[in-house]
Structure 1
Amino acid sequence: MSKKFILGVGFTFIIAIVSILLSNLPILNKVGALAIAIITAILYRHFKGYPTQIESGVVFSSKKLLRLAIILYGLKLNLSTIVNEGGTLLLLDVGVVTFVIFFIILLNKIIKGDKDLVLLLGVGTGVCGAAAIAAISPILKSKESDVGISVGLVAIMGTIFSLTYTLLYALFPMDPEVYGIWSGASLHEIAHVILAADAGGTEALSIGLLTKLGRVFLLIPLSIIFLVIVNRKKSNKVSQKIDFPYFLIGFLVMSAINTFVPIPESVLNVISTFTTLILIMAMVGIGLNVSFNDIKAKAFKPMIAMAITSIVLSVITFFITSIL
C-alpha cells in the first residue's frame, strides 16, 4: 500500500468521523451524518479542488468501500419477516417503488431535466436512498458526480420530509400504526423512517421499519430488472459481456444469513456501526466528484421532479394507509 493510498482513505475517514460527531449536535442531528459528509465533500471540492495527490485512496473509498457497505447492508434485512408478516405491506411497497420511478421519469420528461440523474433520484426516493442509488449506479454506468448529487439531494429531501412528518404527528395525532406504515411507505432512507416514526412510539416504529424493509427487499428484483433492461439496450452482439454487479450477490447472501442464522444483537450493532462508517466514507469520496457547476447545470429540474414526486407519494400513501 502506498502512502498516497493510505492518506486518501484516511482523508475520507477523518471527514466521516467529523460528520458523525457533527450529526450529534442540535439541529445537525436532524440532518444526519450522511448529508453532512456529502455537503462537506462538495464544499471541499469547491474551495480546495479535487485532492488528486491522494486520488487512489479516495477512489478506493468511493468504489470498494461502497460495495462492501452494500453487502453488509443486507444484514439489516430479514427476508422471512417481510414475506411472512408483511405480505400486504410488501404489495404496498411494490406499488410505491413502481409509482415513484415511473412518475418521476414522467415529470422529468415534461420539464426536460437530466435523464440519468432523475433515474437515480427515483430509485433513491422509491427504494432506500443512498443504498439503492449505490447498488443501481454501477448497472446504469452512472457518473460519480451524478451519484454524489443524487445521494445528497435524497438525504436532504428525506430529512425535510421526516421532520415535517414529526411536526404533523404532533399537531394532528393519528393512529400510531397508520403513522408508522405511512412513514415506512413514503420516506426516503431507513434513518428518515426511524426519525419520523419514533415520534409515534414503539408500535409506529416497529411497523414503520417493517414497511421500509419491504422496500429495501425490492432492491434485489429491481436490480435484476434494470440489469436486463440495460443489457437489452446494448448492441445485439452475441459475444458482448454482460456486466453484473456481483456485490448484490453478497447483499443477498448477507440477507439470507441474517434470516436463517442467529446472530447476537451486540454483533449486529457493531457491524451496523462499521457499515455506517464505511458508507459515509464512500459518500465523501463520491461527494468530492461533485462540483457546484454540475448541480446548477443538471440537478435543478430533477430536484423539482423529486420534490413533487415525494409530495404526491406522501399524500397517496397517507390515504392508502388510512384505509388498510
Structure 2
Amino acid sequence: MEPNLIVQKNPKEPIKDKEKIYSLFLGIGFTILIACIGFGLSIIPKLGYIGPFACAILVSVLYRQIFGYPEHIRIGIQFSSKYFLRFAIVLYGLKLNMNVIFNQGFMIMIKSVITVLFSFIVLMLIAKLIKADLNLSLLLSIGTGICGAAAIAAISPIIKAKEEDTAMGIGIIALVGTIFSIIYPLLFPFLHLSNAEYGTWAGLSLHEIANVALAAAPAGENALTFALLSKLSRVFLLIPVSFLFILWMNKKGIKKETEVKFTFPWFLIGFILMSFLGSYFIGELIETKELNIPIDFLTSFLLTMAMTGLGLNINAKELRMKAIRPFIAILITSLFLSIFAFFCF
C-alpha cells in the first residue's frame, strides 16, 4: 500500500505549486489594479487631497465588505503588503538628505525631537483618557511625530502590529493630515509670520511630506524650502526611533518566554543605506527630473499596492468601533501640536 500512496501523492504536489504561483501573480496583479484605481481617484480634485494611499485603502475596504476577502489570491496580496511595503520604505530613504540636515545645524533637530516626544506623550495620554485602542494609538503617535504613513509602515513590522491596525492608522493619519494641510494656507494671511517662519511651522507640525508641501507651497519657494528642511529633520528621526523600538521589543521578548523571537527589520538597514547613498554619492543624479520623478512614482505606487493588502484586512464594523476614539485622539493631538509649534518654535 505504501508505494501506491506515494505514487498517488506526488502528482498532486506540482498542482499545488501551480496554484500557489497563480495565487501569487494574480494577487500581485490585483494589488496593481487597486493601486491604479487609487491613483486614478486621487486625480479627482476633492479626493486628491487625501492621496492615492487613502484612496486605495478605501477601495480595498469597500471591496472586502461587498465581495469578501479574495482567498484564492491571498498569497499574492500578502506578498504585496509585506515585501513591496518594505521595498518602498527602502526607496523612501532616498528622500532623506542627511547632508542638508547636518549642514543646517542641530537646532532644528532638537525641535524635531521635541515634536516627536510631544506627539507621542500627548496622543498616548489622550488615548488612555478616552480609552482608545492603545496599539492603534501608538502607531498614530509615531506617524504624527515623524512622517505620517511612511513612519507607520516602517514601525508596524517592528512592533508586530496587526495589518488591520496599520491600515486604519494610515487611513486616519492621511485624513487628519489632509484636513490640517488645507487649513494652514487659509490661516497664513492672518498669522503675521514671515515665509520662512510659516514654512518652519508647517514642517514641524504637519504629518506627511505631501501635507507639508501642500500647505507650504502657496506661501512661496522660500516657505517651501524651510518647510521641507524642517520635515526632513523629523524623517531622519525615523532611524533612531526604529532602533529604540527594536530594543524595546527585544526586552519585551526576554520577559515573555512564550513570545515569538524578534526578527530584525533588515529593510531599515536598506533605508539607512539609501539615505547615505542619496545624500553623499548620487544626490545630484537623483535630483534630476529624469530620475526623481520615476523614483517618487515607484515609491508611491509600491506603497499604494501594499495599502491594498492592508485595506482588505479591515472589517467595516470593527473599523467603526475601533477607529473613532483613536481618530479623536489624533485630531486633538494634531491641534495641540500646531498650537505648540506655533508659539514655541
TM-score calculated relative to the size of structure 2: 0.89
Matched, 1:91 2:102: no
Residue in structure 1 matched with residue 266 of structure 2 by the alignment: 246
Residue in structure 1 matched with residue 83 of structure 2 by the alignment: 64
Q: Percent identity, aligned pairs only?
A: 46
Given that 1:86 and 1:210 are in contact with CA atoms closer than 8 Å, whether structure 2 keeps it comes out as: no
Once the two structures are overlaid, the 10-residue window that deviates more, 280-289 or 166-175, is 166-175
Residue in structure 1 matched with residue 304 of structure 2 by the alignment: 280
3-state DSSP of counterpart to 1:203: helix
Residue in structure 2 matched with residue 200 of structure 1 by the alignment: 219
Residue in structure 1 matched with residue 144 of structure 2 by the alignment: 125
| 1:253 partner amino acid | L
Residue in structure 2 matched with residue 292 of structure 1 by the alignment: 316
Once the two structures are overlaid, the 10-residue window that deviates more, 68-77 or 227-236, is 227-236
Q: How big is the alpha-carbon RMSD for the aligned residues of Structure 1 and Structure 2?
A: 1.6
Runs of 5+ consecutive residues of structure 1 not aligned to the other structure = none
Residue in structure 2 matched with residue 304 of structure 1 by the alignment: 328
Given that 1:114 and 1:302 are in contact with CA atoms closer than 8 Å, whether structure 2 keeps it comes out as: yes
Given that 1:125 and 1:188 are in contact with CA atoms closer than 8 Å, whether structure 2 keeps it comes out as: yes
3-state DSSP of counterpart to 1:50: coil
Given that 1:86 and 1:211 are in contact with CA atoms closer than 8 Å, whether structure 2 keeps it comes out as: no
Matched, 1:215 2:234: yes
Matched, 1:30 2:49: yes
Given that 1:185 and 1:211 are in contact with CA atoms closer than 8 Å, whether structure 2 keeps it comes out as: yes
Tell me how far apart the structure 2 counterparts of residues 94 and 78 of structure 1 sit (CA, whole Å).
17
Residue in structure 1 matched with residue 4 of structure 2 by the alignment: none
Matched, 1:314 2:338: yes
Structure label with greater radius of gyration: 2
**1:105-184 residue pairs with structure 2 within 5 A?**
105-172=124-191, 174-184=193-203
Matched, 1:12 2:31: yes
Matched, 1:100 2:119: yes
| 1:292 partner amino acid | A
Tell me how far apart the structure 1 counterparts of residues 45 and 137 of structure 2 sit (CA, whole Å).
32
| 2:34 partner amino acid | I
Alpha-carbon displacement from aligned partner over 1:139-195 (angstroms, at most 9, x marks no partner): 111000000000000001100010011211245553111110111101111110011
Deviation at 1:41, TM superposition (A): 1.1
Given that 1:83 and 1:90 are in contact with CA atoms closer than 8 Å, whether structure 2 keeps it comes out as: no
- Matching residue within 51, 65, 75 for 1:46: 65
Deviation at 1:297, TM superposition (A): 2.4
Tell me how far apart the structure 1 counterparts of residues 112 and 254 of structure 2 sit (CA, whole Å).
33
3-state DSSP of counterpart to 1:139: coil
Tell me how far apart the structure 1 counterparts of residues 45 and 121 of structure 2 sit (CA, whole Å).
37
Query: For the structure 1 residues 15 and 171, does the alpha-carbon distance in structure 2 shift closer, same or farther, using more than 3 Å as the test?
Result: farther
| 1:273 partner amino acid | F
Residue in structure 2 matched with residue 261 of structure 1 by the alignment: 281
Alpha-carbon displacement from aligned partner over 1:33-62 (angstroms, at most 9, x marks no partner): 111111111111111111111111110110
Given that 2:91 and 2:274 are in contact with CA atoms closer than 8 Å, whether structure 1 keeps it comes out as: yes
Deviation at 1:127, TM superposition (A): 0.7
3-state DSSP of counterpart to 2:139: helix
TM-score calculated relative to the size of structure 1: 0.95
Deviation at 1:82, TM superposition (A): 0.8
3-state DSSP of counterpart to 1:290: coil
Tell me how far apart the structure 2 counterparts of residues 205 and 177 of structure 1 sit (CA, whole Å).
8
Deviation at 1:241, TM superposition (A): 4.2
Alpha-carbon displacement from aligned partner over 1:107-147 (angstroms, at most 9, x marks no partner): 11111111111000101111111111111111111000000
Runs of 5+ consecutive residues of structure 2 not aligned to the other structure = 1-19
Tell me how far apart the structure 2 counterparts of residues 176 and 107 of structure 1 sit (CA, whole Å).
33
Deviation at 1:269, TM superposition (A): 2.3
| 2:273 partner amino acid | V
